[in-house]
Structure 1
Amino acid sequence: PRGSPAGAPRPPAVLGLGHCPPGLPQPQFPVPSTPSSAPVPLWSPAACKGLILPSLIAPPWHTLKRCPLPCPHAASVPPPQDIRNTVGNIPMEWYEDFPHIGYDLEGRKIYKPIRNKDELDKFLEKMENPDYWRTVQDKMTGADIKLTDEQVELVQRLQKGQFGDVHFDPYEPAVDFFSHEVMIHPVTNRPADKRSFIPSLIEKEKVSKLVHAIKMGWIKPRKPKEDTPTYYDLWAHEDPNSILGRHKMHVPAPKMKLPGHEESYNPPPEYLLSEEEKLAWEQQEPAERKLNFVPQQYRCLRAVPAYPRFIQERFERCLDLYLCPRQRKMRVNVDPEDLIPKLPKPRDLQPFPTTQALVYRGHTSLVRCLSISPSGQWLASGSDDCTVRFWEVCTARCMKTLPVGGVVKSIAWNPNPTVCLVAVCVEQSVLLVNPCLGDKLLYGATDQVLESYTPPEEERVQPVQWRTATVEEHSKGIRLAVQHSKALKQVTWHGKGDYFATVVSDNSSMQVLIHQTSKRWSQNPFRKSKGLVQCVLFHPIRPYFFVATQRYVRVYNLLKQELTKKLMANCKWVSSMAIHPGGDNIICGSYDSKLAWFDLDLSTRPYQLLRHHKKALRSVAFHKHYPLFASGSDDGTVIVCHGMVYNDLLQNPLLVPVKVLKGHALTLDLGVLDVLFHPTQPWVFSSGADGTVRLYT
């Protein structure tokens, strides 16, 4: 190594051949053959017997003879590679652009090791090499060095904040050399100096200089800090006279309005003010006048007198030029076509109803409500002529007419395909009717289920009264009657067909009631009223209950019995409501001719407001299988729209109006009162004030 004596031996290249050269500082290794023996140097004569030394003082390496005995430590010691970089303590980044990394002891270049491993090779080496975790790279030579157990243990101790030496005890008892033994005499018996008893001459000179500087005024006392705020100019370092700055910040003054015909000396007669207009002009405030002068007419230009307000107008113009702040108007050139959303063509969104196919005639008054069977074969309609008619859809034939003795406000067919039952709202009663249409086994099983009811032993207090139909009513098809205290306006079924809800025309807490047919039990889900309820709906999948008031739609969780959401319809009066079969979107129609689409996962406000109708909306409906929804209005039209709801939550629904269906005649300023989709076909039914029901296919 550098700095060794001239006679010091150099490390040979034959250390791995079994020779054990003495004379160098030796590392200590234990000899495994004798467990009780002390550590023996690897290159000592005791470890390698048979070595003949001709000289005791640093023998040359060529005089060493081969030991005839095999050395037990020669196989365990790897051949050392004494590659030393002699560049010194310099940044190794200087050699990044060179193929070598430094120079060895003989001045030869030390070339960088070849590193052509990609990420896959590194990963395989990490998985297969058990010593990968203890291999580090030497920055001086670029070689990979495997840490020994002692070095790993040293690194672990340093990471834990411990000392590098295992045998070092930082808490060993300290020996106080001056107090552990009580002495009679002091350690040093040297007498104190004289300078410790007299004033310092150096300090005297310093004080004299400071006093002289204060007298001469060279040293002044510190002034108290002023608390007054200091202001600085924001534009102090800017050159206001620079041409670039003046051009950049220049805002031209707006030009004066060009004179019109009213400022002519001989204006047309229509620009001259009459006496009433002059009186009104004089009574107005100067800031409210459209013209700041009264137009006058002269027969020639030389008859025009001097303008009396010329100086005042020039002065006001000058005030506007240097007192009024100016602001640039950023005008954006937008193509009007870009503002219109790109919607697909209606012919690409088929099928949807386009033409009127059938007209169901028979009612003598306006038809308020419609309902269709789950199979799509039978249609029920309720009218103000106090009858409920059952029609065959494909032939428009009236199969049965049921007089109910009152105006039918709402009608709903049970959505369960195994039950043949229709709920009819007549004044203060809900009539459960078995129309006895279709399969005899089906409506016969329905009667058996209703007749198998066993009343409970204890009578329960209910808000309504359940009544079994009389013999005369039973012959007409009426099976049960639920008597309410006030007039009814809506009935709707749950998806499973056992529960149905009713809405009462009242502002009390008894507006909404939920009834169970199998147990003939009714209950009031709300303690107090939160507005005038217009309509209610059951969620098709989840246990949610939608209640629409005049301005809001509240969503309740029936299991947790709590309010989940409150939707704001942004309209004056909600008239109807329908829910998408997926359950995440609803539409609301209002009397102010708006249709609001709500995305329950997006917001509590409408996703889109459609203003297609000219008059109040009476009914809205969704199709169960096709992406269609329709709305009926008092303008006599039914508008069918394409409403695609995507499974991707990041994509908003696509709403496209596709068809306007006309056919109903306006009667008493009323048009379409109810709309309804066929359960399987892309057909739509509509009932109107003209007493007809129409089918569009």
Structure 2
Amino acid sequence: MNMPIRNGADHKRSFIASRQEAQRVERYARLIRAGLLKTREQKRREREKKRERSFYMMWSTDDAEDKNMRRITDHIPAPKRNLPSHAESYNPPPEFLFNEREMRIWKKQEETPWKRKLHYVPQKYSSLRQVPAYPKFIKERFTRCMDLYLCPRARKMRLTIEPEDLLPKLPSPKDLQPFPTVQSMVFNGHTDMVRCISIDPLGQYLLSGSDDMTIKIWEISTGRCLRTIPVGGIVRSIEWNPNKALSLVAVVADRKLLIINPGVGDHLIVSKTDSILSTPPVQASIVSDKVKAVVQWDDATPEEWENGIRLVLNHFKEIKQVTWHGRGDYAATVMPDGANRSVLIHQMSTRRSQLPFAKSKGLVQSVLFHPIRPFLFVATQKNIRIYDLVKQELFKKLMSYAKWISSMAIHPGGDNLIVGTYDRKMLWFDLDLSTKPYKTLRLHSTAVRSVAFHKRYPLFASGSDDRALIVSHGMVYNDLLQNPLVVPLKLLKEHEDCSDFGIFGVTFHPTEPWVFSCGADKTIRLFT
């Protein structure tokens, strides 16, 4: 009977893989992958390959099976020489031969030969056998050889980009409603060009000024003319006082700034305004002679009082624009020909004027008050300067890179500004982002004369001499990291052409998404 010598159990290491063997196998596998550990068959093939003699073409690769050269892995062929043109012919056409002027210019460029269009002078021979040897042949061949081995060659990787990918992703105009789309009403009554319009803060009445030396007050809901006031001069700018507790209108007529009570709206507000303006305030300080030479405050005559005129401010130069401060007590006027006295600030409660600037920084075109902060925007021909009225210093200077600024409008939030120029551009400035334009819009074919922001809706509009009123979407976000969204929405072209002039003024309704425009065709149009 056969019996085992040992009846003990197998050891654990007899059926568990050895760690040393696994490390050794892993090392061999790594060497095989790297090509450092070869089998006996591979070593035998390498020995036989070394014994064989290899032959190849030393200077050419025509017979080589490889597409690439043996010494140059990525060969770039040299550019070929340009083919000869008609001017290099031995019998070129007459238009290719140099005249005296062209020959004189060619000789002057001897010290700068790279500026020459041709490096030779075209010559004409009657037959080919009369053509002499080319004297610059050896030099040109030497230059060609120098270019071949000294000039580095490189491949230019061309990007294949779809044209659609270059266009910005803008939302559909249908998703940005409401905005004006159709003409709803035409206000007829003026006998000459309508240069400016303004709407009262409640949005009930419309004020217009024309070259027929009158201003008209219209009721927006019916289109009826309520009142016509003669002002005795061409009306270049008008603006309704933004203070709802006062019934005041500022009108620019030649060299006069007229403060008018239109006499429409709430009778209590109208009578309160008259009582305030009828009693002149006590002058606590003496007005300087410098200010007196620029502007003089006069009370209205009895005839002017009947027409609603309450105060007359006589300036020493022609006024171009007037604008109100947000609280309605201050007004600023612009006289482009006034040099360092171009801008004047008037206070209605004290009947005093002041000159904010001592030096002229350019031909002033327009001024605006900041809606929230004590800033004054002054636009010259090419730049916009922002002044701090409290500290009395320059706060910021905006570079427009335009030839001539025509108008500007500030966003109700106060951080964005649009500027219209006579060179057909509209510039959007983000005051928190940069002093350069955030976006340049080239939507018009002629000069942009007026721009405007809506006070409630994210809309802005521009009017031009091409009779086009363009309404655009301009969303300003509270997040400072997100840039404003600007999308052109609608082109409204209802005005008629008149002496190469189009739209002079653009303004929005204070509460509704409506826009008004006035132009050289003597009409005011409402788009809703």
Q: Find the counterpart in structure 1 of residue 7 from structure 2.
A: none
- Whether the aligned pair in 1 keeps the contact of 2:281 and 2:351 (CA below 8 Å) is no
Structure 1 residue 325: Cα displacement = 3.9
Q: Find the counterpart in structure 1 of residue 99 from structure 2.
A: 279
Counterpart AA for 1:289: K
SS in 1 for 2:270: helix
SS in 1 for 2:320: strand
2:244 aligns with one of 376, 393, 417: 417
Note if 1:465 corresponds to 2:293. no
SS in 2 for 1:488: coil
Describe how 1:233-632 pairs up with structure 2 within 5 A: 247=72, 251-257=76-82, 273-274=93-94, 277-279=97-99, 285=106, 288-289=116-117, 308=134, 313-456=140-283, 459-461=286-288, 462-463=291-292, 464-632=295-463
- Whether the aligned pair in 1 keeps the contact of 2:97 and 2:123 (CA below 8 Å) is no
SS in 2 for 1:506: helix
Q: Find the counterpart in structure 2 of residue 200 from structure 1.
A: none
Q: Find the counterpart in structure 1 of residue 10 from structure 2.
A: none
Distance 1:310 1:304, change over 3 A: farther
Counterpart AA for 1:534: Q
**Which whole-Å deviations, capped at 9, do the CAs of 1:183-217 have from their partners, x for residues lacking one?**
xxxxxxxxxxxxxxxxxxxxxxxxxxxxxxxxxxx
Structure 1 residue 257: Cα displacement = 3.4
Structure 1 residue 523: Cα displacement = 1.2
Q: Find the counterpart in structure 2 of residue 67 from structure 1.
A: none
Structure-1 separation of matches of 2:485 and 2:77: 48
Larger radius of gyration: 1
Deviation larger for 683-692 or 444-453? 444-453
Deviation larger for 322-331 or 611-620? 322-331
- Whether the aligned pair in 2 keeps the contact of 1:273 and 1:294 (CA below 8 Å) is no
Structure-2 separation of matches of 1:372 and 1:501: 18
Q: Find the counterpart in structure 1 of residue 489 from structure 2.
A: 658
Distance 1:456 1:298, change over 3 A: closer
Distance 1:307 1:611, change over 3 A: farther
Structure 1 residue 261: Cα displacement = 8.1
Identity of aligned residues (%): 57
SS in 2 for 1:621: strand
**Which whole-Å deviations, capped at 9, do the CAs of 1:523-552 have from their partners, x for residues lacking one?**
111222211111111111111111111111
Structure-2 separation of matches of 1:307 and 1:343: 67
Structure-1 separation of matches of 2:105 and 2:358: 60
Counterpart AA for 1:499: Y
Counterpart AA for 1:403: P
- Whether the aligned pair in 2 keeps the contact of 1:265 and 1:304 (CA below 8 Å) is no
Structure 1 residue 247: Cα displacement = 3.5
Q: Find the counterpart in structure 2 of residue 677 from structure 1.
A: 508
- Whether the aligned pair in 2 keeps the contact of 1:633 and 1:671 (CA below 8 Å) is yes
Structure 1 residue 295: Cα displacement = 9.7
Cα root mean square deviation, aligned: 2.9
Structure-2 separation of matches of 1:489 and 1:307: 76
- Whether the aligned pair in 1 keeps the contact of 2:206 and 2:220 (CA below 8 Å) is yes
Structure 1 residue 317: Cα displacement = 2.5
Counterpart AA for 2:198: S
Counterpart AA for 2:479: D
Distance 1:312 1:284, change over 3 A: farther
Structure 1 residue 292: Cα displacement = 5.6
SS in 2 for 1:415: coil
- Whether the aligned pair in 2 keeps the contact of 1:585 and 1:599 (CA below 8 Å) is yes
Counterpart AA for 1:413: W
**Which whole-Å deviations, capped at 9, do the CAs of 1:227-256 have from their partners, x for residues lacking one?**
xxxxxxxxxxxxxxxx99953685542233
**Which whole-Å deviations, capped at 9, do the CAs of 1:490-531 have from their partners, x for residues lacking one?**
110011111111112324322111111111121111222211
Where in structure 1 are there 5+ consecutive unaligned residues?
A: 1-242, 267-271
Structure 1 residue 602: Cα displacement = 0.4
- Whether the aligned pair in 2 keeps the contact of 1:572 and 1:591 (CA below 8 Å) is yes
Structure-2 separation of matches of 1:505 and 1:294: 60
Structure-2 separation of matches of 1:559 and 1:522: 17
Where in structure 2 are there 5+ consecutive unaligned residues?
A: 1-67, 107-112
Structure-1 separation of matches of 2:446 and 2:285: 52
Structure-2 separation of matches of 1:454 and 1:306: 102
Distance 1:402 1:247, change over 3 A: same
SS in 2 for 1:508: helix
Distance 1:467 1:254, change over 3 A: same
Deviation larger for 595-604 or 394-403? 394-403
**Which whole-Å deviations, capped at 9, do the CAs of 1:642-694 have from their partners, x for residues lacking one?**
11101110000011111111122222221111111111111111111121111
- Whether the aligned pair in 1 keeps the contact of 2:86 and 2:96 (CA below 8 Å) is no
Counterpart AA for 1:247: I
TM normalised by structure 2 equals 0.78
Distance 1:623 1:291, change over 3 A: same
Distance 1:523 1:332, change over 3 A: same
- Whether the aligned pair in 1 keeps the contact of 2:365 and 2:379 (CA below 8 Å) is yes
**Which whole-Å deviations, capped at 9, do the CAs of 1:133-157 have from their partners, x for residues lacking one?**
xxxxxxxxxxxxxxxxxxxxxxxxx
Counterpart AA for 1:399: L
- Whether the aligned pair in 1 keeps the contact of 2:317 and 2:338 (CA below 8 Å) is no
Structure-2 separation of matches of 1:611 and 1:456: 51
Structure 1 residue 296: Cα displacement = 8.5
Structure-1 separation of matches of 2:95 and 2:401: 49
Structure-1 separation of matches of 2:491 and 2:141: 62
**Which whole-Å deviations, capped at 9, do the CAs of 1:67-106 have from their partners, x for residues lacking one?**
xxxxxxxxxxxxxxxxxxxxxxxxxxxxxxxxxxxxxxxx
Deviation larger for 332-341 or 579-588? 332-341
- Whether the aligned pair in 1 keeps the contact of 2:208 and 2:215 (CA below 8 Å) is yes
Deviation larger for 522-531 or 566-575? 522-531
Distance 1:337 1:284, change over 3 A: farther
**Which whole-Å deviations, capped at 9, do the CAs of 1:291-332 have from their partners, x for residues lacking one?**
868598999xx9998985766654442232123343443433
Structure 1 residue 568: Cα displacement = 0.7
Q: Find the counterpart in structure 2 of residue 634 from structure 1.
A: 465
Counterpart AA for 1:593: R
- Whether the aligned pair in 1 keeps the contact of 2:255 and 2:318 (CA below 8 Å) is yes
TM normalised by structure 1 equals 0.60
Structure 1 residue 362: Cα displacement = 1.3
SS in 1 for 2:340: coil
Deviation larger for 339-348 or 504-513? 504-513
- Whether the aligned pair in 1 keeps the contact of 2:204 and 2:221 (CA below 8 Å) is yes
